Structure 1
Amino acid sequence: MSQEIQAHGKRRSGEEIRSAILDYLHMAAEQTGTGLTARQIGEAFDIHPTTARFHLERLVEQGEAVRQRKDSDGQSTGRGRPAVIYSPTFMNRVREDMISSLCMALETACPDTDSRDRAALKAGQVWGRALARQSRGNAEKDLSPSMTRTLLDTLATLGFAPVTAEPDSSSLYLTSCPFLDSVNTHPIICTIHLGMVLGLVENSSRAVKNKKASILLTPLSSPKGCFLKVAKVDNKPRRKVKQ
Structure 2
Amino acid sequence: MTDHFATPVDRERHRLLAGESRVRVLEALRAAPAPLTILELADLVDLHPNTVRMHLAQLVDAGLATGRREARDRPGRPRLVYDAVAATSEEPDAGPDDESSYRLLAEVLVNHVEQTAPEPVAEATAAGRAWGRTLAREPSAPPSAERATADLTGLLDRFGFAPHPTDAGRTIELHRCPFRQVAEQHSPVVCGVHLGLMQGALERSGAPIRTGALKPFVTPELCLARLEPVPTGGDGRAA
Whether TM exceeds 0.5 here: the answer is yes
Give the one of 21, 40, 44 matched to 2:26: 40
1:103 aligns with 2:103: no
TM-score, with structure 2 as normaliser: 0.57
One-letter amino acid of the structure 2 residue matched with residue 163 of structure 1:
H
Give the match's secondary structure for 2:169. Answer: coil
One-letter amino acid of the structure 2 residue matched with residue 40 of structure 1:
L
Question: How many pairs does the alignment contain?
Answer: 174
1:117 aligns with 2:124: no
TM-score, with structure 1 as normaliser: 0.56
Which runs of 5 or more structure 2 residues have no equivalent in the other structure?
Answer: 36-43, 49-93, 233-239
Query: How far does residue 33 in structure 1 lie from its aligned partner after superposition?
Result: 3.0
Alpha carbons 2:126, 2:196 under 8 Å: kept: yes
Which runs of 5 or more structure 1 residues have no equivalent in the other structure?
Answer: 6-16, 53-68, 74-86, 236-243
Deviations 1:155-184 (A, max 9, x none): 111111111223x21311111111111113
In 2 relative to 1, CA 202–25 (structure 1 residues): closer, same or farther, beyond 3 Å? Answer: same
> 2:13 and 2:101 mapped to 1: Cα distance?
16
Query: How far does residue 96 in structure 1 lie from its aligned partner after superposition?
Result: 2.6
Query: How far does residue 132 in structure 1 lie from its aligned partner after superposition?
Result: 0.7
Tell me which residue corresponds to 1:14: none
Rg larger in structure: 2
Deviations 1:59-89 (A, max 9, x none): xxxxxxxxxx98647xxxxxxxxxxxxx965
Tell me which residue corresponds to 2:33: 50
Tell me which residue corresponds to 2:213: 216
Alpha carbons 2:149, 2:169 under 8 Å: kept: yes
- State, as a whole percentage, how many aligned pairs show the same letter: 21
Alpha carbons 1:213, 1:232 under 8 Å: kept: yes
In 2 relative to 1, CA 49–107 (structure 1 residues): closer, same or farther, beyond 3 Å? Answer: same
> 2:31 and 2:113 mapped to 1: Cα distance?
48
Tell me which residue corresponds to 1:174: 174
Tell me which residue corresponds to 1:156: 157
One-letter amino acid of the structure 1 residue matched with residue 223 of structure 2:
C
